[in-house]
Amino acid sequence: MSVDALLLLSFGGPEGEADVRPFLENVTRGRGVPPERLDEVAQHYLHFGGVSPINRLNRDLIEAVRAAGVGLPVYFGNRNWHPMIEDTVGAMRADGVRRALVFPTSAYGGYSACRQYDEDILRARAAVGDDAPELVKIRHFFDHPGFVLPFADAVRAAAAGFDSYRLVFTAHSIPNSFDATAGPAEWGGHLYSRQVAEAARLVALEVGVAEYDVVWQSRSGPPQIPWLEPDIVDHVDALHAKGVDNVVVCPVGFVSDHLEVIWDLDNEARERAESHGMGFARAATPGPDPRFADMVVELVQEHLSGVVPRKLSPFGTAGCTVNGEFCAVACCEPPARRPR
């Protein structure tokens, strides 16, 4: 297969105070997130001057992927903030791009982590019209050494100051109902939580830690709807009650230092741990590691020249579809949302 560009597709984040509200409205349109939760999240962004690190980190990653020799023009588009994917795909068409690979900045399956990026591709191609470039999405990479090994080194570095510690992995919580439908139906559901557990297992194996926990963070949505639990902050309390004195948190659900990482972990979870007199260290995310950019190049080559896929898990390959098609019928389909 030949392609003439790579598109890095991400979530997007605000780049100043005035962006925060319109960004949050884009994220939560029709999603039933209570207004109190939005006010709270707006405060998290305003704490950092209204600037999420996510766009800068993505621009840095694009530079690193170019420098790693990807050999294709690299474009940048987001779901929720500028540069918006519709505009980027329009620019790609104007530049004469016929077919592009899409690298999504999420390693996992599930509605929020995978299918919603397919919806973005569908929407952008529809907006651009008949001669929109063909867009081929790259597979889930939660089990790629370029994702797992930087996390493992980061855990070792974070734990360096502790004689003993409990290793805790976190990923973004999602509604239980989203997890139930995650993945092709014949794979039995729960693909998101199973991939997160598998990535955690691979990182722990590499570090040489036999006992660890997998927990969740950054829950939103109305309280009566069940989401994946336990929450990291509650879990810190539980570890304290068990007599754990140091905790190392590895944000395995995230590719880079998103706002959820620098607020929910570096502020909320850390404060809770320190209130108990516990030591707390957070492992770095893999996005800025040169091995991560090399992984992106390798994933491109998997498509172009049949380089043997490097996968550390026995899980099937998913997420790689053309023009925003879903992996399978009803794959990662969100249950109908209740109107608010």
Ligand X SMILES: CC1=C(CCC(=O)O)c2cc3nc(cc4[nH]c(cc5[nH]c(cc1n2)c(C)c5CCC(=O)O)c(CCC(=O)O)c4C)C(CCC(=O)O)=C3C
Binding residues: 52, 117, 172, 260
d(CA 192, CA 143): 13
Angle, nearest 10°, between helix axes 191-207 and 145-159? 60
Candidate residues 5, 8, 19, 28; the one interacting with ligand X per rule CB under 6 A: 28
- In the complex, minimum distance from the CB of residue 253 to ligand X, in angstroms, rounded to a whole number: 6
> Which of 3, 6, 20, 41 forms a contact with ligand X (CB under 6 A)?
41
Q: Which amino acid is at 219?
A: R
Query: 240 is written with which tokens?
Result: 């304290």
User: Contact, 23 vs 330, CB < 8 A?
Assistant: no
Asked whether the beta carbons of 285 and 257 are under 8 A apart, the reply is yes
What's the closest the beta carbon of residue 194 comes to ligand X, in angstroms?
Answer: 14
Under rule CB under 6 A, which residues in 166-195 are in contact with ligand X? Answer: 172, 174
Distance in Å, CB of 213 to ligand X, minimum: 19
Q: From residue 47 to residue 86, what is the string marking binding to ligand X with x (rule CB under 6 A)?
A: -----x-x--------------------------------
Quote the radius of gyration of the chain (alpha carbons, Å).
Answer: 20
Q: Is 42 in the site for ligand X (CB under 6 A)?
A: no
Of 220, 232, 251, 289, the one binding ligand X by CB under 6 A: 220
Q: How far is the CB of 291 from ligand X (least distance, A)?
A: 19
One-letter identity of residue 297: V
Q: Are 46 and 17 in contact (CB under 8 A)?
A: yes
177/246 with CB nearer ligand X: 177
Secondary structure (DSSP) of 192-240: HHHHHHHHHHHHHHHHT---EEEEEE---S-TTS-BSS-BHHHHHHHHH
Q: Pick from 168, 191, 259, 332: which binds ligand X (CB under 6 A)?
A: 259
Binding residues for Fe-coproporphyrin III: 52, 117
Interface stretch with ligand X, choices 31-39, 198-206, 209-217, 267-275 (CB under 6 A): 31-39
* Identity of the residue, 54 or 295, whose beta carbon is nearer to ligand X in the bound complex: 54
Is 196 an interacting residue with respect to ligand X (CB under 6 A)? no
| 33 counts as binding ligand X under rule CB under 6 A | yes
Distance of closest approach, residue 127 Cβ to ligand X, in angstroms: 20
**What is the token pair recorded at 280?**
């707390």
CA dist 55 and 15 (Å) reads 8
Tokens 């588009």 appear where? 77
> Which residues are annotated binding-site positions for Fe(2+)?
172, 260
- 8-state DSSP, 322: B
By CB atoms closer than 10 A (0-12, 13-18, 19+), residue 282 is buried
**Positions that interact with ligand X (CB under 6 A):** 11, 13, 24, 27-28, 31, 33, 37, 41, 52, 54, 105-106, 110, 112-113, 172, 174, 218, 220-221, 253, 258-260
